[in-house]
């Protein structure tokens, strides 16, 4: 294994601790084993970015104390070379076409199994046909593991946040009247990689009326004087932790109405940040932003939740949304991103990633929050 491969993941001791904790949590729920397909949970537990297609790759974690086993097609063994599997001393059961990998999993897993939500239906259905009990989702175990970040994860998220901040700092180079959203997005994509990400995960360039669609991506619309432009961008940095940051810009001075409504949005985002701390509920952070907007007649303009957890997935628990009474804990990382949207006209959003500290939260994005006025 090369030094470069080692640097792309955490030390093996971190993965060993995660596997032990997963085993403990699964045992407490009366499970025989966890079965983890490739995806973010596989990456979290093993440091492996392996993919599974029609051939099954899975990690089986028995609660009995037996060694976890990785079941993998022989032709995909090389895909595990950057993982921590060898250092962890895990059992590897490779198989070739003509061998039944599901039988191998069931042999290792027992009857009471929980599967991760990323295991494709192709594999899940075939697997459960061989078990005597219906499988359940492993989400209750996995979300406990992944929601509260350890210091190594927080540091990775800090690096991701700083990297995407550097991209936003260059926005004045690309956002100009007469350019197409698609041209701006191409520049942003290159900068996301240049500033330290492994790839751009998503790019939203929502200019003028396109900014009123929260999930607009990119079009060939030409930027015009007076446009308000929503830029929501992010991607992973090694070992796979994501950035996600939104800032809103204006090509030329905004109208008094836009300036006033944006200032209210800025206050709403700050109110939610001020509310974010251990011991409060997820829905109370959402309410802090939503109630301030409602006080100023903008309740109907805020059409989505205030935030989502982030880590190896861009969207994961906890979700900062009305109705979520989960009590937040130190180490949880999530976005705070209220927005206002006026269909056919313009929209705006302000988004930071925060990590809860002992008595509050740390912002991982530190670019100015005010409407970024650029030459029009």
Segment 118-152, tens digit of pLDDT: 999 999 999 999 998 899 999 999 999 999 999 99
| Model pLDDT for residues 36-65, shown as the tens digit of each residue | 999 999 999 999 999 888 999 999 999 998
Q: Would you identify the CATH topology of the domain 148-374?
A: Creatine Amidinohydrolase (3.90.230)
Provide the 3-class DSSP secondary structure of residue 350: coil
Tell the residue number behind the tokens 């995909």, with chain if given: 76
Tell the residue number behind the tokens 């979520």, with chain if given: 324
CATH class of the domain defined by 3-146: alpha beta
pTM given for the model: 0.94
State the Cα angle at 165 between 213 and 370, rounded to 5°.
60
Residues 6+ apart with CB under 8 A from 341: 211, 212, 213, 214, 301, 302, 303, 347, 348
- The H-or-E segment that residue 294 falls in is helix 282-295
Peptide bond into 318 cis (omega under 30): yes
Axis crossing angle, helix 151-168 with helix 181-194, rounded to the nearest 10: 140
Residues 6+ apart with CB under 8 A from 54: 122
Tell me whether residue 282 is exposed, middle or buried, using C-beta atoms within 10 angstroms of its C-beta: 0 to 12, 13 to 18, 19 or more.
buried
- The H-or-E segment that residue 126 falls in is helix 121-128
Q: So where are the chain's domains?
A: 3-146, 148-374
- The H-or-E segment that residue 199 falls in is none
Tell me if 348 sits within 8 A of 267, measured CB to CB.
Answer: no
Q: What is the pLDDT along the chain (376 residues), one digit of tens a residue?
A: 223 333 579 999 999 999 999 999 999 999 999 999 999 999 999 999 998 889 999 999 999 989 999 999 999 999 898 899 999 999 999 999 999 999 999 999 999 999 999 999 999 999 999 998 899 999 999 999 999 999 999 999 999 999 999 999 999 999 999 999 999 999 999 999 999 999 999 999 999 999 999 999 999 999 999 999 999 999 999 999 999 999 999 999 999 999 999 999 999 999 999 999 999 999 999 999 999 999 999 999 999 999 999 999 999 999 999 999 999 999 999 999 999 999 999 999 999 999 999 999 999 999 999 999 999 8
Cβ neighbour number for residue 8 with a 10 Å cutoff: 16
What integer pLDDT is reported at residue 18 of this predicted model?
97
């Amino acid at each position: 294994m090369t030094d470069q491969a080692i640097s792309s993941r955490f030390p093996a001791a971190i993965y060993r601790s995660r596997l032990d904790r997963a085993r403990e949590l699964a045992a407490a729920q009366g499970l025989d084993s966890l079965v983890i397909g490739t995806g973010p949970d596989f990456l979290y537990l093993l440091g492996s970015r392996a993919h599974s297609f029609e051939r099954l790759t899975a990690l089986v974690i028995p609660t009995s104390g037996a060694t976890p086993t990785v079941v993998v097609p022989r032709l995909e063994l090389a895909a595990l070379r950057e993982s921590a599997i060898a250092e962890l001393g895990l059992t590897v059961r490779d198989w070739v076409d003509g061998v039944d990998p599901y039988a191998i999993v069931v042999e290792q897993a027992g009857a009471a199994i929980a599967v991760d939500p990323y295991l494709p239906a192709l594999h899940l259905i075939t697997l459960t046909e061989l078990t005597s009990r219906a499988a359940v989702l492993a989400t209750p175990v996995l979300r406990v593991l992944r929601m509260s970040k350890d210091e190594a994860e927080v540091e990775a998220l800090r690096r991701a946040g700083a990297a995407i901040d550097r991209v936003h700092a260059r926005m004045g180079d690309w956002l100009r009247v007469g350019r197409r959203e698609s041209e701006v997005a191409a520049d942003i994509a290159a900068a996301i990689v240049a500033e330290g990400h492994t790839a751009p995960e998503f790019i939203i360039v929502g200019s003028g009326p396109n900014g009123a669609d929260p999930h607009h991506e990119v079009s060939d619309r030409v930027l015009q004087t007076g446009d308000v432009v929503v830029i929501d961008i992010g991607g992973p940095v090694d070992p796979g932790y994501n950035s996600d940051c939104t800032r809103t810009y204006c090509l030329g001075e905004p109208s008094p109405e836009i300036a006033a409504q944006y200032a209210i949005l800025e206050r709403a985002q700050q109110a939610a940040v001020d509310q974010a701390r251990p011991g409060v509920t997820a829905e109370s952070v959402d309410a802090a932003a939503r109630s301030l907007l409602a006080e100023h007649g903008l309740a109907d303009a805020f059409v989505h939740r205030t935030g989502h957890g982030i880590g190896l997935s861009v969207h994961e628990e906890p979700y900062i949304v009305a109705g979520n009474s989960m009590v937040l804990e130190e180490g949880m990382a999530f976005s705070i991103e209220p927005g206002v949207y006026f269909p056919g006209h313009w929209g705006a959003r302000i988004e930071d990633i925060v990590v809860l500290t002992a008595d509050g939260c740390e912002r991982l994005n530190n670019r100015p929050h005010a409407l970024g006025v650029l030459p029009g």
